[in-house]
Structure 1
Amino acid sequence: MPGLDTYLQGWRPEPLAETDAPSSEPSRALAAVLETAAPADDLPPLWHWVHFLTWPQHGELGADGHPAHGHFLPPIPDRRRMFAGGRLTATAPLRLGAPAERTTSLADVVVKQGRSGEMAFVTTRAEYRQDGELRFVEEQDYVYRSGESSTKSPNTSRPTELPTSDAPWQQPFTGDPVRLFRFSALTANSHRIHYDEPYTREVESYPGLVVHGPILVLLMTELARHRAPDRRVTGVDYRLRRPVFAGDPVLVTGSPAGDMAVRTAPDEVMATAQVTFG
């Protein structure tokens, strides 16, 4: 099989401009899923993930439920995607109800050799504007491979209790299928690993439904935001290290310095974030 570089030669999608006027309803729905208060005027950090959504026609989806084609989806055969992390730098939040524009561009694409084969690292950069002013910039990192990873196992051992921590900020969390289903609907995410357990085990070789990476990032960011209510979040740099599965108890930890993490017992770090306060 040709290397991934062969398929990515000349792949340089043009920037994509989109508009939205963030309404309050998606944010109220997200607040219900996260069990927190809904915003009245301004979107909290990363809550724009329930806005600027794209809903492909049903026939445009692949066997995994993910779009078969997309503006920033690399032309790799038997493509498998993992959301690896990202960065947000904000000067001001988006206001609910006001027209906003997002301009997304391809920031980088690099092929690397990993333990389980070649991987393509794709980074997109999105600029969000409102009233003609740049409000924040977000970069997202995705890892793509051709074919399934040989390192997965549906029989992977699972945590059964919370880890211990001396972090000053702590919040336990356990994802369940209903919460995952609601978050998928809110974010237009139809990937079957989040709601179809037979598919997840038999095709993707995961031991259970996968908790969305963005849920883990929101849990860390929200913990920081609520524990430091007098400080404005101006940046988030997050990394998703290992998948969390429905039913796995996790502990979200953090500190006033903005060092956030999602942990499982006995002491596995599943995700990290560095939150910056202004």
Structure 2
Amino acid sequence: MAEQGLQTHLREWRPEPLVETDALTAEPSRALAAVLEADAPGDVLPPLWHWVHFLQWPGHSELGADGHPTDGRFLPPIPDRRRMFAGGRLTVTAPLRLGVPAERTSSLGGVVVKQGRSGEMAFVTVRQEYRQDGELRVVEEQDYVYRSGESSAKDPDAARPTETPSSDAPWQRAFTGDPVRLFRFSALTANAHRIHYDAPYAREVERYPGLVVHGPLLVLLMTELARHRAPELTIAGLDYRLRRPVFVGDPVLVTGGPDGAMAVRTAPDTVMATAQITFRG
């Protein structure tokens, strides 16, 4: 239980690295392009599009009531576990190429237990290295926050934004998540968590005011805006943070500029997610 302290459950948790392979066929990326309403990539995989590859599909009986796997190599042994994707970092030495088999090595990057306003939280970082032809091409670290039991800070009746915020940023894209797009993105990323497609569950059980827009989708909106507004530049690095959840029907504005400072905002000017992109000319 939570009152025993999360550190009690994590003290001996040292999962071994996991090596996986993927053929990197073009079909998943073409499907993602359709969901993002972007051009399908040629033979080079855009930054973060590897999220629709190396997918894991546990058996149906291996899923919990929330649709998330009950066990996994890098899922911490915390009772009544609740997870939030908090952010991450990406370094691209060379882009991954479609049609070329790739290898991913995942390892535990770190575990830290902190005391927050609503109780203890475990911060877990998973490091992933991507190689093709034996060459290290992409390194990603993903940060997750875990707690034991549900947070009491949620308010399903909280006020929701109704207008798109204004901005003087040179790069802008308005976006409003809808259930169909979320369902398709869930399928593409093998994400069965019910907060993204089961509205009664999201509201009545998880106590959210509506379906939750995927954090990775928000990050992709930021990187795609930069990629299409600065096609002469190459994204060499990325540091992103997911600060607040965005819900279906919430109008957001994705903003950024040549300095690589990107954000997702709601009216009047609430920052929901940020990313700092490093370009290579």
Q: TM-score, normalised by structure 2?
A: 0.98
* Structure 1 vs Structure 2 CA RMSD: 0.4
Greater CA deviation, 1-10 or 208-217? 1-10
Residue matched to 2:175: 173
Q: CA deviation at 1:40?
A: 1.1
Instruction: Tell me the amino acid that sits aligned with residue 130 of structure 2.
Output: Y
Cα distance per residue 1:11-47 (max 9 Å; x no partner): 0101100000111100000000000000010100000
Deviation at 1:157, TM superposition (A): 0.7
Match of residue 18 from structure 2: 16
Q: CA deviation at 1:75?
A: 0.3
What is the CA deviation profile of residues 191-235 of structure 1, one whole-angstrom value per residue up to 9, with x for unaligned ones? 000000100011100000000000000000000000000001001
> 1:244 aligns to what?
246
Partner of 1:116: 118
1:88 aligns with: 90
What is the one-letter code of the residue matched to 1:229?
P
SS of 2:14's equivalent in the other structure is coil
Shift of 1:9: 1.1
Aligned partner letter, 2:263: A
CA distance in 1, matches of 2:158, 2:237: 34
Q: 2:143 corresponds to which residue? A: 141
Structure 1: any 5+ residue segments left out of the alignment?
A: none
Which residues of 2 match residues 190-201 of structure 1 at below 5 A?
A: 190-201=192-203
Tell me how far apart the structure 2 counterparts of residues 196 and 2 of structure 1 sit (CA, whole Å). Answer: 32
Matched, 1:231 2:264: no
Question: What secondary structure sits across from 2:138 in the alignment?
Answer: strand
Q: In structure 1, give the amino acid aligned to 2:15.
A: P
Structure 1 length-normalised TM? 1.00
Q: Percent identity?
A: 80
C-alpha separation in 1, matches of 2:172 and 2:90: 23
List gaps (5 residues or longer) in structure 2: none
2:132 corresponds to: 130
Q: Matched residues in 2 for 1:107 and 1:91: separation?
A: 20
Q: Does 1:184 align with 2:191?
A: no
